[in-house]
Structure 1
Amino acid sequence: MKKYIVGLSLVLLGLGLAGCGSTTNESSSDSSGKAATSSTVKDETLEVKDSNGKVTVPKNPKKVVVFDNGSLDTLDALGVGDTIVGAATDNLPAYLKEYKKVDSAGGIKEPDLEKINQMKPDLIIISGRQSDFLDQLKEIAPTMYLAVDTSNTWNSIKQNVETLGQIFGKEKAAKKQLAELETSIKETKAKAEESKDKALTVLVNEGQLSTYGKDSRFGIVYDTFGFAESDDAIKASTHGQSVSYEYVLDKNPDVLFVVDRTKAIGGDDSNNNVADNELVAQTTAGKNKKVISLQPDVWYLSGGGLESVKMMLDDVNKAFE
């Protein structure tokens, strides 16, 4: 009888130890009391590359504040626009007007930190215009800096789109749309090279001209869309190289692309009709009606997104009509 009792005790003790051992192998519970497996925890964040290097961001964020309009249009094209809770709503291009309904996150150059904090975003996406606020924004939520590298425009755009696709679980959709864009870009580039037309890109602001060449703000015209430069000595600069109408006549472009900054952000545009200028009218572009107005809000306020690159392609293809 004693042996039976001792044996039974050992069995019960063993079962108890086994039960204790199983609890040590269980995943810890989250604040809601639900067990979170190690794989789930791992999937909650991922490391991606932005314009500053590696950054850790949430996977499939539900609340996003976006200042970079190119990223905003990419999220829209990928079908995750419903995650956007804040944007620089006063500086949205017309094609993104539906996002004026989201909360304003401040100006395009000066984020409203207090307002953004109240939004409690999971992710913030900025461009160069907000880069001075990067450290302050990081204190609110993980912040990505997505700029377009003007020395490698198309590859830079592709990387940004693929990164957003990865974050939002839209990798296939991103690759499909990029492939379609790449086909259109190749077609445009082939036309530009075949035409042998030399182009000049200018920005007009209340009657004053600045020009931009390869490796600059509007360098996509040359390095991606394939147009030759009428002036290959333009210094790369964010704000462009200040020039005169005499300069335009001297360079005599076959195609003159014009971005009207005043129309994009407001101001006096009474002296902005470049095509009507008497000196421009004497250029090959003027004579052949190849002074082409680019959609100002797309080129000045956006660019670098799946939707905006399509619109930019439509603009430059007017040179072949």
Structure 2
Amino acid sequence: MNVAGLTLSVSTLLLAALPISAQAHEVGGGEHGPSVVSLDWGAADTLDELGLAEHLVGVPHQSAPAYVSHLVKGRADIGGLKEPDVEAIAGLEPDLILVTGRQSGSLEALKAVAETRDVTLEEGNYFEALSSKVLSLASPYHAEEKAREKLAALESDIATAREGLAENLDALVVIHNDGRYVLRQEPIVTELLQIDQPALPNSVEPVSRGERTFYPLTPANIAEMAPDTLYVVDRSAAIGQSPMDTDALKAALADAGGADIGVTVLSPGLWYLSGNGLQSVRAQMDEILGGL
């Protein structure tokens, strides 16, 4: 197990030139910073962690994961993650709207309301991309120093967690959707905690949809991979459909020779509807460590 420091440390980030997305720039809202509507829970939890929740005026109530339920109270409901209520958002007169690719169908309408910023993580090194996002969210409020402190603390806790892991661990993360499973490449596991993912069997064939490639897995495939722990992100439960039958999955794994595989069902809202924020990354890391 590699327990070395993160590929790019926070101290290195402070010396390097930040990406354009992380550089401070003026947004409406005066000296106290902009009022914000967030359609990304990772951005919302980051603002909360930085002590900036007072600037958050609207969030999508119906998709709120449990860990951010407190952010719903006293704030306007702005619809769903995929179908935001543009009229409700316009009524709030925000200075800034935070979006991701989930809102692509409403993007032009949102841009007509206020400045709209895509907070989707950049490709590449995960911690570097997360740091860029956090610093970008902090910059309109001149809260970069606090953001750096939070990132440094997170980096230290990741390193400590790595050092406490047993040698030669491996784990597999899958998404469940209506009785089917697909591989999830999860940087919390493979990059931050540096837990290995077992190799895919040769029998697993990729499926392409547009620019995305998926790897469907059966319980027999998973048993052949034989991870120490199987983590399941239950999309069905996250979107209000019938949740996965965990006992049925365990039985299917046992029938295929995978009775010794530990199965951990992760918090659906945290993993499918959120992530990539200061609070959510910590919560996700804790769930992974708790399942080992």
- Which TM-score band (shorter chain)? 0.7 to 0.9
Q: Are residues 273 and 63 of structure 1, via their aligned partners in 2, closer, same or farther at CA, if it must alter by over 3 Å?
A: farther
CA distances 1:96-150 after superposition (whole Å, capped 9, x unpaired): 1122231111211012222211111011111121134333322211111011235
> Which of 180, 190, 193 is the matching residue for 1:208?
180
Q: Does 1:271 align with 2:242?
A: no
The answer to which structure, 1 or 2, has the higher relative contact order (CA under 8 A, 6+ apart) is 2
Q: How does 1:223-242 map to 2 (within 5 A)?
A: 223-231=191-199, 240-242=214-216
* Contact map agreement 2:188 2:285 (CA 8 A) in 1: no
Q: Is the 8 A contact 1:258 1:293 kept in 2?
A: yes
Q: What is the percent sequence identity of the aligned residues?
A: 30
Contact 2:238/2:273 (<8 A) preserved? yes
Aligned residues of 1:200 and 1:230 also touching (Cα < 8 A): yes
Q: Aligned partners of 1:227, 1:206: CA distance in 2, in Å?
A: 28
Paired position in structure 2 for 1:221: 189
1:66 partnered with 2:38: yes
Aligned length: 266
Match of 2:20 in 1: 49
In structure 1, the residue matched to 2:234 is 260
Q: 1:94 to 1:239 in 2, by over 3 A?
A: farther
Given candidates 76, 84, 93, the residue that maps to 2:56 is 84
- Contact kept, 8 Å, 1:48 with 1:57, in 2: the verdict is no
Specify the alignment match of 1:106 in structure 2: 79
1:54–1:271 CA distance, 2 compared to 1 (3 A): same
Residue in structure 2 matched with residue 96 of structure 1 by the alignment: 68
CA deviation vs aligned residue, 1:196-225 (integer Å, no higher than 9, x gap): 112111111232111123xxxx23311222
CA distance in 2, matches of 1:238, 1:271: 27
User: What SS does the corresponding residue of 1:221 show, helix, strand or coil?
Assistant: helix
User: Which residue of the partner structure matches residue 88 of structure 2?
Assistant: 115
Match for residue 110 of structure 2 among 137, 144, 149: 137
Cα deviation per residue 1:243-283 (whole Å; 9 max; x = unaligned)?
Answer: 11111111111221111122222111253446533325766
Q: Which consecutive unaligned segments of at least 5 residues does structure 1 have?
A: 1-46
Q: For the Cα contact (< 8 Å) 1:205–1:260, is it kept in 2?
A: yes
Question: Is the CA contact (8 Å cut-off) linking 2:174 and 2:183 kept in structure 1?
Answer: yes
TM-score (norm 1): 0.74
CA distance in 1, matches of 2:172, 2:254: 12
Distance verdict in 2 for CA 1:303–1:157, change over 3 Å: same
- After superposition, the Cα gap between the structure-2 partners of 1:179 and 1:280, relative to the gap in structure 1 and judged at 3 Å, is farther
- How far off is 1:85 after superposition? 1.3
- CA RMSD between the two structures: 2.8
Query: What is the aligned counterpart of 2:130 among 154, 157, 160?
Result: 157
- Report the TM-score, using the length of structure 2 for normalisation: 0.81
Residue-by-residue CA offset, 1:271-306 (whole Å, 9 max, x unaligned): 34465333257666x426x32222221111111111
Give 1:207's aligned amino acid. G
Q: CA contact under 8 A between 1:200 and 1:231: conserved in structure 2?
A: no
- Distance in 1 (CA, whole Å) between partners of 2:45 and 2:193 is 20
Q: Is the 8 A contact 1:199 1:228 kept in 2?
A: yes
Structure with max Cα Rg: 1
| Number of the residue aligned with 1:19 | none
| Structure 2: gaps spanning 5 or more residues | 1-17
